[in-house]
Structure 1
Amino acid sequence: MASETNGAAGPAAPLTERGARTRERLLAAAREVFEERGFLDTRVAHITRHAKVAYGSFYTYFPSKEAVFLEVADRLFADMTAHDLVPLDGPSPAARVRRANRAYYEAYQRNARMMAIIEQVSTFNVEFQEMRRKHRAGTVARSAKAIRRWQAAGLAPADLDPELASRALASMVDHSLYLWLVQGEGPNDRLLDTLDTLSIRALGLDP
């Protein structure tokens, strides 16, 4: 993959308060430009122009376009996975699943334009794929922990593999929202209710 880098860039300078603000401005501008142009058509010059920052200053904070994209995506995934798909707390397991699905839907809706770009980059950037896997693994592990607790309490079937169930449910919800919010297969007001029902039944929980 072609990369826009500056070979003369040295070690990153310690960030002053002003430098931190400039870096944040570049990150905000990068996300807006990526969403408008896509990853492949975005250039560092587009980002610096949008941020109203000198072109050379970009390399004080980021070694390449890929680096700023990875940080934008890392922050996005932190937002997307702030709520576990199967949270531990709540009035009942089924209610927790419904609440988590709604929280993930709201996060996906906030980030839908960037998610479209992320799907593009995920087909060819190995470093990005690894970062995405780490975020997903964390969410799956936390959800699997909740399922094990429900199994121990006799609320979920003992023969269900917690990790595989978490992965399957995460994939179902994620891909369904991608098709709806990114690809435009909708809107369908009943989709969330259907995802709730399928998730609850798959886990063998009382509705």
Structure 2
Amino acid sequence: MRSKAGPGEEAAGQAPLTERGARTRERILRAAREVFEERGFLDTRVAHITRRAAVAYGSFYTYFPSKEAVFLEVADRLFQDMTEHALVPSEGPSPAACVRRANRAYYEAYRRNARMMAIIEQVATFNVEFQEMRRKHRAGAIGRLAEVIRRWQRAGLVGADLDAEMAARALAAMVDHSLYLWFVQGDDTPDTERLLDTLDALSIRALGLPA
């Protein structure tokens, strides 16, 4: 499968798009996400996407070489929304407050993207290129969280004997899988605040942060 073009470039790697072309490309991307969410990846056809976007069938291939390519870009944008900042506690009155704010930011991002996350889990079982893209996004988010933990270790707030990277991986997996079971699998989960308060408490206690 060919790699996707960067924003503002044609799928074949040619010159940057015109303003009109960029708008058409964005319309195709928005339509593709809607159709993927409704039909799933396997049952979606390029014709479904072009009808939803109100563009000619052949126009799709001006911007994307395949259904897989447009899916990869939709997923890439989703992962940016999910992981660019949500796993990294921002500055705040205390590390514990930063953890709470980060968990809630990730919850909101997951809620926005829950329908697409279900499709992503489907595609991750068979598409190697997609798996690699997902790993890169996750590795970047975990790396940023690990650096925050190391900063807290240097400040004496987290024990120096804790493996920062493994702690980041474990905490991210706990939060991510809890939300996956709730939003995607439909588990019988208690109310939002109770769930988030529990995830907060487990994260803060695992790191040994003052509450």
- TM-score, with structure 2 as normaliser: 0.91
Work out whether residues 156 and 203 of structure 1, in 8 Å CA contact, stay in contact via their aligned partners in 2.
Answer: yes
1:142-197, CA deviations, whole angstroms, 9 ceiling, x for partnerless residues?
11111111111110011110000001111110010000011111342211111111
What secondary structure sits across from 2:48 in the alignment? helix
Alignment-derived partner of residue 198 in structure 2:
194
Q: Which amino acid aligns with 1:152?
A: R
Question: Alpha-carbon deviation of 1:85?
Answer: 2.1
Is this contact kept in 1: 2:12–2:65, CA < 8 A? no
User: Is 1:179 equivalent to 2:154 in the alignment?
Assistant: no
**Residues 84 and 142, structure 1, Cα contact 8 Å, conserved in 2:** no
> Quick check: 1:79–1:107 contact (8 Å CA) kept in 2?
yes
1:74-120 Cα distance to aligned partner (Å, 9 max, x none): 00011111324242411111110000000000000000000000000
CA contact (8 A) 2:90 2:102 kept: no
Task: Return the offset for 1:14.
Answer: 3.8
Which secondary structure state, in structure 2, belongs to the residue aligned with residue 159 of structure 1? coil
Q: Percent identity?
A: 82
Q: Would the aligned equivalents of 1:85 and 1:104 in 2 still touch at CA under 8 Å?
A: yes
TM-score, normalisation: structure 1: 0.93
For residue 153 of structure 1, what is the aligned residue in structure 2? Answer: 155
2:172, 2:111 → 1: CA distance? 16
In angstroms, what is the RMSD of aligned CA positions?
1.5
Alignment of 1:113-124 (within 5 A): 113-124=115-126
Aligned length in residues: 200
- What amino acid sits opposite 2:166 in the alignment? L
In structure 2, C-alpha distance between the alignment counterparts of 1:136 and 1:170, rounded to whole Å: 9
* Structure 1: segments with no counterpart, 5+ residues: 2-8
1:67 Cα deviation from its structure 2 partner: 0.3
Which stretch of structure 1 is more off in the superposition, 77-86 or 104-113? 77-86
Give 1:76's match in structure 2, choosing from 75, 78, 81. Answer: 78
1:62 corresponds to:
64
Of 96, 106, 109 in structure 2, the residue corresponding to residue 107 of structure 1 is 109
Q: Kindly report which structure 2 residues correspond to 1:118-133, keeping only aligned pairs within 5 A, or say none.
A: 118-133=120-135
Structure 2 SS opposite 1:111: helix
| Counterpart for residue 51 of structure 1 | 53
C-alpha distance in structure 1 between counterparts of 2:39 and 2:33, whole Å? 10
Deviation of 1:60 (Å): 0.3
Contiguous gaps of at least 5 residues in structure 2? 2-10
Match of 2:161, SS state, is: coil
Residue 164 of structure 1 corresponds to: 166
